[in-house]
Amino acid sequence: MPSDELDEATVRAIARDEFVRTSRTVVGRVCWTLLSAFAILVGLQLFQLALYTVSVPAMVAFALVGALVTGSGLSLLYLLWA
């Protein structure tokens, strides 16, 4: 078997490489999760801003952009954690 020929230095190198690769994945997932949560909050804030806007076209524009940003954040969260 090829695994019988591994020495301690090789095993340590493989474990170190896998640990670095896994930690990058975890850090990336946390960063993208924070970014998507921030996008969802911005989208909800745009909905709130649309409620207090005086003109109807601006209200519709803020609501549409809020829906787009909120939907994007939610879809990113789904992709990250599904």
Cα angle 59-65-67, degrees, rounded to a multiple of 5: 100
pTM attached to this predicted model: 0.74
Q: Are 43 and 62 in contact (CB under 8 A)?
A: no
User: Is the pLDDT confidence value at 1 over 60?
Assistant: no
- Coil, strand or helix at 52: coil
> Using CA atoms, how far apart are residues 7 and 18, in angstroms rounded to an integer?
17
pLDDT tens digits for range 18-77: 877 877 788 888 999 999 999 999 999 999 999 999 999 999 999 999 999 999 999 999
Q: Are 67 and 39 in contact (CB under 8 A)?
A: no
pLDDT at 53: 94
Q: Which residues contact 61 (CB under 8 A, 6 or more apart)?
A: none
Q: Which two tokens stand for residue 34?
A: 């924070």
Assign 4 a pLDDT band (cuts: 50, 70, 90).
low
pLDDT at 51: 94
